[in-house]
Amino acid sequence: MRLRLVQLSAFLLGVVLVVGTADAQSKSKKKKASKPAAAMVHKNMDADVPAIGGTGVPVGYQGRTDRPTQMLNTAKYATVGTGWDITTGPGHILWNPKDTASGNYTVSTTIDQLASPAHPESYGLFIGGSDLAGPNQTYLYFLVRGTGEIFAQTREGDKLTGRVAWQKGYGVPVAPVADIAGKASYKLALQVTADSVRFFVNGHQTAALPRGDLPVRGHYGLRINHNLRVHATPVTLTRR
């Protein structure tokens, strides 16, 4: 009798352990399953916000968004002075089909951040553009953002190759964190020489790369990321 009671107790303890383990595993799976859902919500929160009264790009210019599903007419360009107040909308590049450069040259623009984005977003210049409306779009772009950091990358079709990682650049003003408006001004330039490509912000060289195989011959223009309010001047070319 005593032996049977011991065996019964052991059996019941085993059942409790199995049930407890199964319950813990079930809870663990639920927690793991919830992570992608949370990530998806976060991703959706950062969707493109269409500009009120979207105009698309200015007359005489062409643009291309990062993804074919994005609508360029949800960006707004309003002529102010010699430039545009730009509200995005989708991230995109902007260029004039007549604007091309080769050899040694410098392209430049001034971009003013007019308001703080929800999180750091960037804007800047690109050069060496080819097949910009096709599947093999290629260009080198140079960006800055209100955190006072710079970045450079090349695009070849869907392939993105980092050239200058995000880093603080000498002469790059940080958009004042304490200022709710988050305003800052950036005079950007890309200088192509016989052996290098140099990156300038507010008159200071912030980085340089060997010219090598970088795309430097072709169209040039602006690169504006999504959900921003900036003022930009048309890109100017100086041949050397």
51 found inside a domain: no
- Per-residue pLDDT, 8: 39
- Per-residue pLDDT, 22: 44
Residues 68 and 2 in one domain: no
Q: Which residues of the chain have pLDDT under 70?
A: 1-45, 175-180
DSSP secondary structure letters along 141-193: EEEEETTTEEEEEEEETTEEEEEEEEEE-TT-PPPPTT-TT--EEEEEEEEE-
Contact partners, residue 85, CB within 8 Å, separation at least 6: 76, 77, 78, 114, 229, 230, 231
Query: Which domain covers residue 23, as residue numbers?
Result: 1-45
15 found inside a domain: yes
65, 60, 57: which is closest to 137 by C-alpha?
A: 65
Contact partners, residue 128, CB within 8 Å, separation at least 6: 138, 139, 140, 214, 215, 216, 217, 218, 219, 220
- Per-residue pLDDT, 198: 98
The pair of structure tokens assigned to 239 is 């041949």
Distances from the Cα of 61 to the Cαs of 52, 142, 219, 222, 236, in angstroms? 21, 20, 12, 11, 14
- Per-residue pLDDT, 168: 87
One-letter identity of residue 204? H
Q: Name the pTM for this structure.
A: 0.79
14 found inside a domain: yes
50 found inside a domain: no
- Per-residue pLDDT, 147: 87
54 found inside a domain: no
52 found inside a domain: no
Residues 147 and 218 in one domain: yes
Q: What's the whole-number average pLDDT of the chain?
A: 84
Residues 73 and 162 in one domain: yes
Residues 128 and 207 in one domain: yes
- Per-residue pLDDT, 45: 54
Domain tally for the chain? 2
Residues 109 and 212 in one domain: yes
Residues 41 and 66 in one domain: no
What's the CA gap between 186 and 112, in Å, rounded? 6
Residues 144 and 228 in one domain: yes
Residues 145 and 76 in one domain: yes
235 found inside a domain: yes
- Per-residue pLDDT, 27: 46
Helices (H), the chain: 2-45
56 found inside a domain: no
CATH classification at residue 227 = 2.60.120.560
My answer on whether omega of the bond before 89 falls inside 30° of 0, hence cis, is yes
Residues 10 and 112 in one domain: no
Residues 31 and 80 in one domain: no
Residues 201 and 102 in one domain: yes
Residues 113 and 31 in one domain: no
